[in-house]
Amino acid sequence: MNKRFFLKTTAMLAAAAAFGTAQAQTTPIKFQMDWRFEGPAAFFLVPGANGYFKDAKLDVTVDSGNGSGGAVTRVASGTYEMGFADLAALMEFHANNPDAPNKPVAIMMVYNNTPASVMALKKSGIKTPADLAGKKLGAPVFDAGRRAFPIFQKANGIGNVAWTAMDPPLRETMLVRGDVDAITGFTFTSLLNIEARGVKADDVVVMQYPDYGVKLYGNAIIASPKILKDNPAAVKAFLAAFTKGAKDVMANPAKAIETVKARDGIINVDLETRRLKLAIDTVINSPDAHAEGFGQVKGPRLSLMASQVSDAFNTKTRVKADDVWNGSFLPTAKELDILPKVKK
């Protein structure tokens, strides 16, 4: 009896120890997105749905957001270990908070080009950047395109403009109603939102920043210094799993949208599939991304952006490019070779 009890107890303890070890090997990571569960969110949902995070022994929680500034702040606060944010917003945080103890760092470039653009209705008569002089532009105060507009303005010799602020859901509505002459926003967000309000894409003038001399990087995966120091293996595993998922998303955007639908059942599947494809074509699988490599940045371009952001955002201190970027956690160049061939 005692022997059986001893063996049973030993087995239970062994099972408990094994379970505890397995639990200890799974690293929880809270990930803060920059925006709602729209098409591009598939890039962060597919790695989980396809089992890549689990295979990497990661328990990743992906939460929607309300702007890059908020994503940077939440990672800086320690509420989230990692996130997704516009690199300009990260640079601004660094330069305006030089003494902050937990400044996030960009560790993988996803949007090699900024998605920001100026959009106007053709009937407004606006055809070129120069036509914006003296016009009324609209965007939320935190909009990446609005924040970086001084760079676009300087590059294209645009005269003074007037700004109107609004909540994000009203931006495209105010353009269609004629309350503003033009708006700034992410192309794949605002263009499709304008269409959803009854305007054909052919009736919209789209001036994408990269096409008009503004070679800013866009959104990157960011991480807190704490997780980079305490668990670099988990960070590397996350980026490797994300890269596998990104390859799947670009290979089959329609299937990838199913993961977004699973998180937000009220999305318009056709619209969000188009949004995802537009994001891939314009800022992820772009010529610049092919030249530099998926996930990576080039030093001179990063330094130029740091200088431009310092000037345009009028930061307290100058942005130091080396402080905002750490590419040492990236997968190998072979593993990062996932971009589809650009159709000619």
Dmax (CA) of the chain: 93
| CA angle 53–38–222, rounded 5-degree value | 50
Q: Are 229 and 223 in contact (CB under 8 A)?
A: no
**Per CATH, domain 27-113+217-324 is 3.40.190.10:** yes
Amino acid letter for position 329:
F
- pTM for this prediction: 0.90
Question: In which order are the strands placed within the sheet that holds 136-138?
Answer: 162-164, 136-138, 182-186, 116-121, 204-208
Amino acid letter for position 267:
I
pLDDT at position 342 is 72
Question: In terms of C-beta density within 10 A (0-12 exposed, 13-18 middle, 19 or more buried), how is residue 206 classed?
Answer: middle
Q: What is the mean pLDDT of each run of 10 residues along the chain (344 residues)?
A: 54 49 77 96 98 98 94 97 97 96 97 97 97 97 92 96 96 98 95 95 97 96 98 98 98 98 95 96 95 97 96 95 98 97 71
- Parts of the chain belonging to CATH 3.40.190.10: 27-113+217-324, 116-212
Q: Which residues of 99-129 are buried (b: 16+ CB within 10 A; e: fewer)?
A: eeeebbbbbbbbbbbbbbbbbbbeeeebeeb
Q: Using CA atoms, how far apart are residues 51 and 257, in angstroms rounded to an integer? A: 16
pLDDT at position 3 is 55
Number of Cβ within 10 Å of residue 177's Cβ equals: 10
pLDDT at position 25 is 85
- Name residue 106's beta-bridge partners: 222, 325
pLDDT at position 336 is 98
Backbone angles phi, psi at 37, to 5 degrees: -80, 80
Q: Are 296 and 339 in contact (CB under 8 A)?
A: no
pLDDT at position 254 is 97
pLDDT at position 18 is 46
| 137, two tokens | 């532009």
| CA angle 58–324–245, rounded 5-degree value | 35
Q: How far apart are the first and last CA of the chain?
A: 78
Pick one of 3.40.190.10, 2.30.30.90, 3.40.50.2300, 3.40.50.720 as the CATH number of 116-212. Answer: 3.40.190.10
